[in-house]
Amino acid sequence: MQRIRLRYTKRGRLRFTSHRDFQRAFERALRRAEVPMAYSAGFTPHPKVSYANAAPTGTGSEAEFLEIALAESREPGKLRALLDESLPEGLDVTDAVEAHTSAFADRLEASVWELRLEGVEQETAEEAVAAFLAAESVEVERQTKKGLRAFDARGAVVSLEAVRPQADRPATAACAILRLVVRHVTPAVRPDDVLSGLRAVADLAPPVPAAVTRLAQGPLDEETGAVTDPLAPDREAAQA
């Protein structure tokens, strides 16, 4: 079998699709594109597709990943284009590489998130960020299938900053932009958990729900705090 790793997006209104909705849309795209999928054995064979660390429903993403297994070899670039054409606008396949290494999910160590806080002044956001980072721990609560759970939202945060708007951006209503790098830990710390932490330590409460987008996910450089490309090792192995 040939294994292909794909990067895809969830943009615009498609950010509200659940992971199950995306799975159905992607399997339809595989059929439309006539991808020669490898199938599992047993009484109910299904196409071999592995999804990795999907973003929560309602959040946008520029960096979602999955892996497919093919019964016949295909050129990754052409396969990417065919699948992209077969998916609705907003679910865009942006990259494809042949898998030459194993343990791909282990590379997804951290995510970079952008949080747009409409109605929040820049100075207010900066003060809240400073209070959050100064705290040794920030306990938040989240409703889970097993009931209300409390955990520390501060420990997983590698960096958090209030980003200044671009100089050429039109002057409109207040809108603070936060840039967050968070480790993938158990239990997972999500952007809304960090927002709960900002509310707890600095009473930061945006008047409307934050618009959240994952900008990247991959290996974490502990020295710089940067999140790097998880597909890079496969490209390097292909060129070796």
Q: Residue ranges of the domains in the chain?
A: 2-106, 110-218
Q: What is the pLDDT of residue 1?
A: 87
Query: From 3.40.50, 3.30.70, 1.10.3470, 1.10.1660, which CATH number describes the 110-218 domain?
Result: 3.30.70
Nearest to 138 by CA among 198, 203, 210, 212: 198
Nearest to 53 by CA among 182, 144, 149, 146: 182
The span from the CA of 116 to the CA of 97, in Å, is 32
The span from the CA of 107 to the CA of 218, in Å, is 6
Q: What is the pLDDT of residue 172?
A: 63
pTM to 2 decimal places? 0.92
Q: What is the dihedral of CA 76, 77, 82, 87, to 10 degrees?
A: 90
Q: Which residues of the chain fall below pLDDT 50?
A: none
pLDDT tens-digit readout, 41-82: 888 889 999 999 999 999 999 999 999 999 999 999 999 999
pLDDT tens-digit readout, 82-105: 999 999 999 999 999 999 998 899
CATH 3.30.70.580 at 2-106, yes or no:
yes
The span from the CA of 148 to the CA of 187, in Å, is 13
Q: Which residues contact 233 (CB under 8 A, 6 or more apart)?
A: 100, 101, 107
